[in-house]
């Protein structure tokens, strides 16, 4: 049994935060942000907008594009590090608000690698015959975890969601995957407090312990190396080479990371899907958001070979080699 994508969707909140806006609240500049990251704008959730709201909007677009109803989907999976609550899983809320309470639903929490891990897990559920059709959503409201006084992280993150409906198929789109993790130094990129290691106190809140902390330069080096190695491993498991690829769809964390990885994979710019200028880093949402936009723009043709690759907190990384089926 194989798997294919039956429909894609995406959503980003209406409010936009530009580099000019950031210049007004931080010691930074449009020039610095553009040359160091490639970012121009990010979308920011409203105070009353939670991750499940973004996920549902993306899921509805995917359902419409696939001409399906929520009841036609057997299971709902949300990849996120910004769940509505620490528990229950955001997937449960999404399924119920779509009117299908009772369906299985769960979350995958592996930061920006969430869609890559999710694609591997969901493809396995379908290829092994457990479910016929699964909704995989990457959705984040990272703006709620950003310290807008820290210029090294505040410029990077935005909110958004992307959804893919995966279904069984006689032809198999899933060709191979490579996943990895290294939790030796979680503090390289983490939310220090609010978990069982360091519960929140007034002092910790005052020190922004509930916001993203990151050693940017270390993440940068790791990101390029891991995305390249993981992509090559997935490709070789599928008996493919980078030159066989139609598209590289990488996690959108920094334009320079994407360009460096693409260059080492000898991928010309026209084969690399990039929308970082519009959304910034939307963690687990970035790859499905870029994929949904590429599909909407009719860039993808039947039989196109794609590598999805990402990295993030964990540290974690991965790549999936995929044959697009129209």
Minimum distance of ligand ACO from residue 247's CB (angstroms): 21
The stretch among 31-39, 64-72, 125-133, 234-242 that binds ligand ACO (CB under 6 A) is 31-39
Q: Is 251 a catalytic residue?
A: yes
Closest CA to 168 of 305, 325, 58, 321: 325
Q: Which is nearer to ligand ACO, 317 or 324 (CB)?
A: 317
> How many helices, marked H, and strands, marked E, lie in the chain?
11, 13
The stretch among 54-62, 173-181, 219-227, 294-302 that binds ligand ACO (CB under 6 A) is 219-227
* 107's tokens: 């979350």
Q: Is 112 a catalytic residue?
A: yes
Q: Tell the residue number behind the tokens 């010309």, with chain if given.
A: 268
Distance (Å, whole) CA 175 – CA 307: 10
CA dist 263 to 69, 217, 259, Å?
Answer: 42, 19, 6
Range list of H helices, the chain:
19-25, 30-37, 51-65, 90-97, 114-127, 151-154, 202-206, 216-237, 255-264, 276-279, 286-296
Instruction: For residue 169, state whether it binds ligand ACO (rule: CB under 6 A).
Output: no
* Choice from 111, 164, 224, 258 touching ligand ACO (CB under 6 A): 111
* Choice from 313, 319, 321, 325 touching ligand ACO (CB under 6 A): 313
Distance (Å, whole) CA 218 – CA 171: 41
Distance (Å, whole) CA 65 – CA 308: 21
* Choice from 219, 248, 258, 265 touching ligand ACO (CB under 6 A): 219
Minimum distance of ligand ACO from residue 157's CB (angstroms): 7
**Interface size with ligand ACO, residues (CB under 6 A):** 23
Task: Tell me, residue by residue from 239 to 278, as one string, x for binding to ligand ACO by CB under 6 A and - for no binding.
Answer: --------------xx------------------------
Minimum distance of ligand ACO from residue 101's CB (angstroms): 31
The stretch among 26-34, 130-138, 166-174, 288-296 that binds ligand ACO (CB under 6 A) is 26-34
Which of 112, 208, 225, 239 is flagged as catalytic?
Answer: 112
Strand, helix or coil at 199? Answer: coil
User: In this structure, what are the phi and psi dihedrals at residue 37, rounded to the nearest 5 degrees?
Assistant: -130, -20
Contacts of 318 (CB under 8 A, 6+ apart): 113, 116, 117, 120, 177, 178, 179, 180, 230, 309, 310, 311
Q: Which is nearer to ligand ACO, 115 or 174 (CB)?
A: 115
Task: Tell me, residue by residue from 147 to 166, as one string, x for binding to ligand ACO by CB under 6 A and - for no binding.
Answer: ----xx--x-----------
Closest CA to 223 of 215, 234, 211: 215
Residue 274 burial class via C-beta count within 10 angstroms: exposed 0-12, middle 13-18, buried 19 and up:
middle
Q: Which is nearer to ligand ACO, 169 or 316 (CB)?
A: 316
Instruction: For residue 112, state whether it binds ligand ACO (rule: CB under 6 A).
Output: yes
DSSP 210: T
Instruction: For residue 62, state whether it binds ligand ACO (rule: CB under 6 A).
Output: no
Q: Tell the residue number behind the tokens 């993203």, with chain if given.
A: 212
Q: Is 43 a catalytic residue?
A: no
* Choice from 37, 65, 80, 141 touching ligand ACO (CB under 6 A): 37
What residue number has its CB nearest to ligand ACO? 312
Question: Catalytic residue numbers?
Answer: 112, 251, 281
Contact residues for ligand ACO (CB under 6 A)? 28, 32-33, 36-37, 111-112, 151-152, 155, 189, 214, 216-217, 219-220, 223, 253-254, 281, 283, 312-313
């Amino acid at each position: 049994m194989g798997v294919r994508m039956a429909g894609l969707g995406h959503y980003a909140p209406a409010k936009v935060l530009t580099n000019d806006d950031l210049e007004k609240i931080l010691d930074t500049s449009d020039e610095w942000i553009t040359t160091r990251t490639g970012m121009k704008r990010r979308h920011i959730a409203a105070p009353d907008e939670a991750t499940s709201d973004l996920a549902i909007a993306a899921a509805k677009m995917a359902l419409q594009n696939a001409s399906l109803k929520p009841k036609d989907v057997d299971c709902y999976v949300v990849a996120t590090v910004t769940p509505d609550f620490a528990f229950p899983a955001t997937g449960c809320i999404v399924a119920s608000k779509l009117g299908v309470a009772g369906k299985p639903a769960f979350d995958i929490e592996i930061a920006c690698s969430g869609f890559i891990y999710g694609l591997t897990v969901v493809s396995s559920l379908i290829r092994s015959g457990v479910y016929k059709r699964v909704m995989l959503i990457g959705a984040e409201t990272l703006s709620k975890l950003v310290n807008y006084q820290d210029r090294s992280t505040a410029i990077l993150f935005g909110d958004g969601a992307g959804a893919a409906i995966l279904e069984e198929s006689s032809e198999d789109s899933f060709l191979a995957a490579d996943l990895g993790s290294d939790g030796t130094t979680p503090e390289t990129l983490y939310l220090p407090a609010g978990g069982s290691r360091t519960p929140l106190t007034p002092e910790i809140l005052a020190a922004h312990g509930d916001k993203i902390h990151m050693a940017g330069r270390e993440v940068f080096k790791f990101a390029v190396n891991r995305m390249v190695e993981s992509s090559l491993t997935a490709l070789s498991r599928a008996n493919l080479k980078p030159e066989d690829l139609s598209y590289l769809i990488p996690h959108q964390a920094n334009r320079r990371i994407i360009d460096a990885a693409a260059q080492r994979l000898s991928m010309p710019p026209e084969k690399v899907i990039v929308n970082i200028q519009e959304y910034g880093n939307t963690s687990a949402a970035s790859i499905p958001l870029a994929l949904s936009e590429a599909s909407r723009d009719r860039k993808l043709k039947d039989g196109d070979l794609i590598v999805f690759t990402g990295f993030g907190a964990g540290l974690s990384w991965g790549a999936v080699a995929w044959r697009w089926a129209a």
